[in-house]
Structure 1
């Protein structure tokens, strides 16, 4: 998929005007999920915007309790209605747990593409072994893999797999839940570039080839600042300093 460097993560956003503002300032990739409970909010925000539909990538995720075939079909149909779209651009398996069955679930995702309900199949929070199993089953190529990715947590093996098979990685929680502002190496690089730790963290994520970030933001100022982070040019010494952070904190373990 041809995704922009920065998209909008919408978990916790309950005001359609935030979505409309994000589109106004330049966001074109919106990421939500059934379990967030705000697909209708995202849909209403899209409806309030005059950005052409064909310029948007709208992504959502089927939660772990709805991955049996009939539930995939019913919940995806409900997602389409809440989002106000005929076709969901990118539909993810949110986590391969609970009702997930590789054969049954993934073949149903393929069938949704055949129906025209979705354009692309995405996976989220998969291990490398689970990705290989999915590749062996899906007719559709893996369009994206969404994973937690920030200065305190990343999985080089997953990134290598994505590069090998030429699909993008979508980094959620790229600001580590705000923890980046307390990381000395990140703060030092921010001071050097006269910007914020959050902007540096996003710029660092984007130095990884094939990785796209979906930070959450609600105010216009933060929405614009996150987009601007894509223009920060980190030097190799900056990248090395952040790479050297030894703490490993996964915010959303299974």
Structure 2
């Protein structure tokens, strides 16, 4: 599988998301994903499943160097000492000596961003995480992190799918060499009901969901981390890697409504804040 290289690490462009999976169900699903060939696993402190993910990794027998593991610190824990405690607990639950990528999960309106990023950078310098990054950061926040703080940001993980335009953010990230990792790449399952994506899928003999994943993965500097609990769905997502869209398909997808944000909690940043 093609990988993306960033800030001294590499990760497969198609990863395995674990949001909303916990306990034995998460362990079994992650074990299945690993057995099928996934080597990019995404979890978070807030998901309450790092222990299950850690068990699956331990049971897999896969060499640690062949696996990419991302986890994240919750927005309520962005004071430097809280970051340290959260990271220590995440590492303990995952049963790992280090993670490959540690992210700020959501920005906080009350955070001291420079100090939070400095705490992450210390973890990187100590070798406890190989790289650091952010999630759900707007363009102004990205500019602060990269241009003001000078943090070595390895990715910005944001909602991105066929119904949500991220072109402005993506243009900036590409200019800075920062990958975009797309979560909710199936728009919380709603892509399967799109007549336009179904039509494209029939043309290629694949599903609408596979079209949506293929569309993301053909884009420069973009990775995707769909969640899939069943082995059949996990395999279907892997099979999307072989789907080749044409210009007609891309025009049809470009014409879809693009205001369909599916993840917008009360604590979310102001998505359309001017970049200054």
- Report the TM-score range of the alignment, normalised by the length of the smaller protein: over 0.9
Q: Which runs of 5+ in 1 are unaligned?
A: none
Quick check: 1:70 aligned with 2:78?
Answer: no
Give the CA deviation at 1:100: 2.3
Once the two structures are superposed, the pairs formed by residues 1-254 of structure 1 within 5 Å of their partners are: 1=6, 2-14=10-22, 15=25, 16-138=27-149, 140-253=151-264, 254=268
Q: How many residues align?
A: 254
Deviation (angstroms), 1:113? 1.0
Q: 1:139 to 1:11 in 2, by over 3 A?
A: same
Separation in structure 1 between the aligned mates of residue 39 and residue 70 of structure 2, nearest angstrom = 11
**Aligned-CA RMSD value:** 1.2
SS of corresponding position for 2:155 = strand
**TM-score normalised to structure 2 length:** 0.89
Q: What is the distance in 1 between the residues matched to 2:156 and 2:174?
A: 11
Given that residues 5 and 230 in structure 1 are in contact (C-alpha distance below 8 angstroms), is that contact kept between their aligned partners in structure 2?
no
The answer on whether the counterparts of 1:39 and 1:79 sit within 8 Å (CA) in structure 2 is: yes
Structure 1 runs, 4 residues or longer, greater than 3 Å off = 136-140
Contact 2:145 2:151 in 1 (8 A): no
Q: How far apart in 2 are the matches of 1:167 and 1:231?
A: 25
8 Å Cα contact 1:170/1:212 also seen in 2: yes
